């Protein structure tokens, strides 16, 4: 209908750009609204002992229960939250929800731990440590039952600052887990610099070992963790053969769809302690 002009294509392209920007902007806005309305919830993936099968603890994983969308996973909102400086608000809510659950679930099993994922911005936020201290005191938790999962990228931005916060965390008495181990660039040097209690082997190493039948790398990572006196956790265990192999090589704990997917708190309470 519109009259064709030499710039028609350009105009079309420009308005398409604006639409994209608008969507990006409106997603950020609905994230902010969602955070205010507490639409972000934690689900909990159980972590088990490899040798005995005993439930040891949970990893808290974020989901967005948007009123008119299906439930969204971290891939749909974490990158934008990090980009927009919104992630530490999410972490506060995740900590608050998951440590409330931990304190209640410890009445049924006192030795449980709760593991929470951190982003770089979390440790840069001045109120992070005080909020954590408050929650631990409020719920009367034993600090070493609280595990904070960190990745290399969290340490890369500002090593001195990160190292100060990690020392403060050690003083509080919470423990650290190195998440997605082996997928970054400087894993080995930071393994030595950070005195973490747990090493989480990325799912890709479990998959690769199963698919290629070559398990030398997986075995070496487990050995490395044990040598560093860490508790080694395998992520993404989907097959019984994988679990059997982890038992043979002495991996300590595992999480994976083989035994349990991330669950709603209500499902944990209904299914895990009858």
Q: Which residues bind Mg ion (CB under 5 A)?
A: 117, 149, 179-180, 235
Q: How large is the angle between the packed helices 128-138 and 87-105, nearest 10 degrees?
A: 20
Cβ of residue 119: shortest distance to ligand C2E, in angstroms? 4
Contact between 256 and ligand C2E per CB under 6 A: yes
State which of residues 27, 28, 72, 78 lies at the interface with ligand C2E (CB under 6 A).
Answer: 78
- Cα separations in angstroms, 14 against 7, 9, 18, 28: 11, 9, 6, 21
Cβ of residue 1: shortest distance to Mg ion, in angstroms? 51
Cβ of residue 74: shortest distance to Mg ion, in angstroms? 9
Residue 159 partner contact from ligand C2E, Mg ion, none using kind-dependent CB cut-offs of 5 to 8 Å:
none
Q: Decide: 172 and 129 in contact? Cβ < 8 Å.
A: yes
Closest CA to 81 of 24, 135, 37: 24
Structure tokens, 223: 């050995």
Contact between 180 and ligand C2E per CB under 6 A: yes
State which of residues 31, 50, 62, 132 lies at the interface with ligand C2E (CB under 6 A).
Answer: 62
By CB under 6 A, the count of residues binding ligand C2E is 24
Residue 34 partner contact from Mg ion, ligand C2E, none using kind-dependent CB cut-offs of 5 to 8 Å:
none
Closest CA to 116 of 145, 138, 78, 140: 145
Q: Which chain residues interact with ligand C2E by CB under 6 A?
A: 45, 61-62, 73-74, 78, 87, 90-91, 94, 117-119, 149, 179-180, 235-238, 255-257, 262
């Amino acid at each position: 209908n519109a009259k064709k002009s030499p710039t028609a294509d350009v105009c079309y392209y420009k308005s398409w750009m604006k639409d994209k920007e608008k969507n990006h902007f409106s997603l950020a806005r609905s994230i902010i609204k969602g955070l205010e309305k507490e639409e972000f919830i934690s689900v909990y993936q159980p972590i088990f002992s490899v040798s005995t099968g005993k439930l040891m603890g949970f990893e808290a994983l974020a989901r967005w229960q948007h009123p008119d969308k299906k439930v969204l996973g971290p891939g749909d909102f974490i990158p934008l939250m990090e980009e927009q400086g919104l992630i530490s608000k999410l972490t506060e809510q995740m900590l608050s929800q998951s440590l409330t659950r931990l304190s209640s679930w410890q009445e049924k099993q006192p030795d449980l731990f709760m593991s929470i994922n951190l982003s770089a911005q979390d440790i840069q936020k001045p109120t992070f440590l005080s909020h954590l201290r408050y929650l631990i005191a409020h719920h009367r938790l034993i600090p070493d039952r609280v595990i904070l999962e960190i990745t290399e990228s969290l340490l890369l931005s500002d090593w001195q600052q990160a190292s100060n916060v990690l020392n403060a965390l050690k003083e509080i008495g919470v423990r650290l887990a190195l998440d997605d181990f082996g997928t970054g660039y400087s894993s080995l040097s930071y393994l030595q610099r950070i005195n973490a209690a747990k090493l989480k082997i990325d799912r890709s190493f479990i998959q690769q070992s199963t698919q290629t039948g070559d398990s030398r790398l997986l075995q070496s990572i487990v050995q490395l963790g044990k040598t560093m006196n860490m508790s080694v956790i395998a992520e993404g265990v989907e097959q019984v053969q994988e679990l059997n192999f982890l038992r043979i090589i002495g991996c300590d704990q595992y999480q994976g769809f083989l035994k349990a997917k991330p669950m709603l708190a209500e499902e944990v309470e209904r299914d895990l302690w009858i």
